[in-house]
Amino acid sequence: MIDSFVNFSILDCAEECLRTTRCKSVSYYKGTNYCEINYDNKSSVTDRFLESSGWIYSDKDDWDTGIISSCSASKCSIDEKCKPLPRGNFECVLSECRDGWIPFQDHWYTPHNNRQNQESAKMECGKENAYLVEINSSEENSWIKDTFLTQFGKILGIHLHIQSNVVISNPIASKEKDEDICRFEILR
């Protein structure tokens, strides 16, 4: 499942799926107006979408893209969804975070505590369709320090080499003997 929504009509549910590039199907429970938009459909995962009382299942292809107006012409990437704007315009925005990924501004980040050099870290990030972060602002630097050092440092034994009020690009390349952290951003 990509995401779920309460108090959605079946039409709201279908529209959400049609605007979300990665979505392949919807599951809708009429009794509670509960919507799930899904990564898979019946043809790709045969045992996931079983008939059940009160549930409606529908493939994305069952719906006319005309119901999402300007978004019907969007070419959003796989990790994006179309957000309709006034006057028939739209924009593509990040649709959801993967498990273990943390959003900040227009990007998603995740720690990786394998000890590796910068080239290996870049390759590891590439396997995730992401890239090794380059810190571009003091705001991003502070957020990374607060999020990954404070929240994950004690859990994972990770030590970031980031100082207060200093923007450091790619601290992963540190030659110290502490564990490093690989941070990812979704490619845009």
Domain 3-94 is in which class? alpha beta
| In contact, 77 and 188? CB cutoff 8 Å | yes
pLDDT of residue 78: 78
pLDDT of residue 106: 62
Helix spans in 70-176 (H): 118-127, 138-144, 153-156
CATH code of domain 102-186: 3.10.100
| In contact, 42 and 51? CB cutoff 8 Å | no
**CA 82 – CA 92 distance, rounded (Å):** 5
Give the pLDDT confidence of 30-63 residue by residue, as tens digits.
989 999 999 889 988 878 888 889 999 999 999 9
**CA 40 – CA 116 distance, rounded (Å):** 34
- Beta sheet of 34-38, edge-to-edge order: 3-5, 34-38, 25-29, 55-59
Give the pLDDT confidence of 109-153 residue by residue, as tens digits.
777 766 677 788 778 777 766 777 777 788 887 887 777 766 655
Q: Model pTM?
A: 0.56
**CA 131 – CA 116 distance, rounded (Å):** 15
Give the pLDDT confidence of 69-103 residue by residue, as tens digits.
899 988 888 778 899 999 989 999 877 666 667 77
Largest CA distance in the chain: 59
**CA 79 – CA 182 distance, rounded (Å):** 20
Q: Name the more confident of 29 and 183.
A: 29
- pLDDT of 175 > 70? The answer is no
| In contact, 169 and 103? CB cutoff 8 Å | no
Q: Name the more confident of 157 and 146.
A: 146
Domain spans of the chain?
Answer: 3-94, 102-186
